[in-house]
């Protein structure tokens, strides 16, 4: 049999969302192909390329990596994805992994994405594996601020970091609202609240994994200010982003502790409810047992005279007691005495 033909990967241009060349903070070119982008960079001094890729195939990433000379380890991370936030420097190229997030109101869940950013001396390459963040808005913002954009690729990296951290604010607000609802459900006795606490705890843990390493990434950038001669204005902006990221991390850490406390309270309330239910069942069983004892006692008391009356109601011919003058009074007396004796016995034992 003939081997099946291998599907040829589409050109890298199919995964490009936007491709621009900037000089002195202004967009001068929008090349249709990467080859044209590289030609413009080589022929135009002090230019910078900003290329955005969306879910590229492996061959597409490799094509870009060959042109920009990206390190193979960074390229491998960009291909495999599913990385934690980190900062790596390979020669003159900076490789940053970010985990943006957004809150989905319809399903009350957090959607996590992944973004890889390559920053070189004259280029910024973003590889986006998810819907977030909206880098088109970041690009539009930067193009509207040439003073900031002319500071180079580091300014673009700052803007991306700022957008990712700002995108965490709605997520924090959504999680806070979920926790408030859960607190209401816990004290309202909702039986499904335990599952919701567990699911929300998993989202908070995932959010911690996305935000906590980001502080280390920002600290690494801040620590390299002097060594790599980062612009003073960018330093101020990055410190501001770091402050916001720390605030988010502290809020998320607080959410996790709150959920643990809520889970403990819920377990206590469930235990109390079960104890109350068991107490109610015990009391009902005790009441039924007392009623049963009373019924049994009266049945025994009534059974004694009935037995005597039944014996003398058989009307056999040879029953000497039937011919006694005192037979009838004796039978009645026996019924009364036996009933009184049984009543006294049951009363003493607490059955009546």
Beta bridge partners of 16: 53
- Residue 2 predicted with pLDDT over 70: no
pTM metric for this prediction: 0.74
Q: For residue range 157-174, what is the model confidence (pLDDT) as tens digits?
A: 999 999 999 999 999 999
Please report which residue ranges of 110-231 form alpha helices under DSSP H.
Answer: 135-143, 146-149, 153-188, 193-223, 225-228
Instruction: Write down the pLDDT at residue 68.
Output: 86
Q: Are residues 265 and 310 in the same domain?
A: no
- Contact criterion met (CB below 8 Å) for 65 and 139: no
Least Cα distance to 126 among 114, 142, 140, 110 occurs for: 114
148: domain CATH number is 3.30.460.20
Model confidence at 9: pLDDT above 70: no
Residue 184 lies in a domain: yes
For residue 342, pLDDT beyond 90: no
- Is there a domain that residue 141 lies in? yes
DSSP type of residue 328? H
Pairwise CA distance, residues 68 & 118, whole Å: 10
Please state, in angstroms and rounded to a whole number, the distance separating the CA atoms of residues 241 and 163.
Answer: 9
How many angstroms separate the CA atoms of 25 and 94, rounded?
21
Q: Which domain holds residue 297?
A: 290-348
**What is the C-alpha end-to-end distance of the chain, expressed in Å?**
95
User: Is 7 among the domain residues?
Assistant: no
98 and 136: one domain?
yes
Please indicate whether residue 212 or residue 63 has the higher confidence score (pLDDT): 212
Q: 2 vs 5, 6, 7, 185, CA distance in Å?
A: 9, 12, 15, 63
Q: Pull the structure tokens for residue 159.
A: 């803007």
Q: How confident is the model at residue 4 (pLDDT cuts 50, 70, 90)?
A: very low
Locus of tokens 């081997």: 3
What local confidence, expressed as pLDDT, does residue 288 receive?
A: 78
- Do 298 and 205 sit in the same domain of this protein? no
Among residues 244, 271, 298, which one ends one of the domains?
Answer: 271
Mean pLDDT across the chain: 84
Domain match, 310 and 191 both = no
**Average pLDDT for 273-290:** 74
**Same domain for 86 and 176?**
yes
Instruction: Specify if 283 maps to a domain.
Output: no
Q: Are residues 266 and 303 in the same domain?
A: no
Measuring CA to CA, which residue among 304, 294, 309 is closest to residue 339? 304
Overall domain count for the chain: 2
Q: Say yes or no: 129 and 203 in one domain.
A: yes
Q: Is residue 195 part of a domain?
A: yes
Same domain (yes/no): 20, 154 = yes
Look at residue 102 and tell me if it is in a domain.
yes
* 329 within domain boundaries: yes
pLDDT at residue 315 in the model? 67
189: left (phi over 0), alpha (psi -120 to 50) or beta: left
Please check whether residue 237 lies inside any domain of the structure.
yes
Residues 18, 157: one domain?
yes
Over residues 58-62, mean pLDDT: 85
Domain final residue pick, 243, 271, 299? 271
Regarding whether 249 and 318 lie in a shared domain, the answer is no
Rounded Cα distance, 260 and 205, in Å: 12
Residues 246 and 157 in one domain: yes
Q: pLDDT, tens digit, for every residue of 242-260?
A: 999 999 999 999 998 888 8
Q: Is 350 left (phi over 0), alpha (psi -120 to 50) or beta?
A: left
If asked whether residues 46 and 171 sit together in one domain, one would say yes
């Amino acid at each position: 049999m003939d081997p099946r033909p291998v599907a040829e990967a589409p050109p890298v241009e199919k995964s490009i969302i936007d491709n621009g060349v900037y000089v002195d903070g202004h967009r001068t070119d929008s090349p249709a192909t990467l080859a044209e982008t590289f030609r413009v960079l080589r022929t135009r001094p002090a230019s910078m390329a900003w290329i955005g890729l969306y879910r590229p195939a492996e061959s597409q990433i490799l094509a870009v990596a060959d042109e920009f000379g990206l390190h193979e380890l960074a390229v491998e991370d960009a291909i495999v994805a599913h990385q934690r936030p980190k900062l790596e420097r390979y020669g003159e190229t900076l490789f940053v992994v970010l985990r943006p997030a957004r809150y989905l109101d319809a399903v009350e869940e957090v959607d996590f994405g992944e973004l890889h950013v390559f920053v070189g001396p004259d280029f910024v390459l973003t590889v986006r594996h998810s819907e977030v963040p909206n880098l088109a808005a970041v690009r539009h913002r930067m193009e509207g601020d040439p003073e900031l954009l002319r500071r180079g690729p580091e300014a673009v990296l700052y803007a991306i970091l700022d957008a990712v951290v700002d995108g965490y604010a709605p997520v924090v607000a959504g999680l806070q609202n979920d926790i408030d609802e859960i607190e209401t459900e816990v004290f309202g006795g909702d039986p499904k609240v335990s599952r919701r606490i567990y699911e929300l705890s998993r989202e908070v843990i995932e959010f911690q994994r996305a935000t906590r390493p980001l502080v280390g990434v920002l600290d690494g950038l801040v620590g390299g200010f002097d060594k790599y001669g980062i612009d003073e204005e960018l330093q101020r902006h990055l410190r501001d982003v770091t402050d916001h990221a720390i605030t988010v991390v502290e809020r998320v850490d607080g959410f996790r502790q709150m959920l643990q406390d809520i889970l403990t309270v819920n377990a206590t309330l469930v235990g109390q409810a079960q104890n109350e239910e068991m107490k109610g069942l015990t009391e009902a069983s005790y009441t039924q047992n007392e009623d049963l004892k009373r019924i049994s006692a009266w049945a025994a008391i009534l059974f004694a005279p009935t037995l005597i009356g039944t014996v003398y109601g058989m009307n056999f011919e040879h029953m000497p007691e039937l011919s006694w003058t005192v037979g009838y009074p004796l039978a009645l007396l026996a019924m009364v005495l036996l009933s009184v004796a049984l009543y006294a016995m049951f009363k003493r034992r607490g059955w009546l």
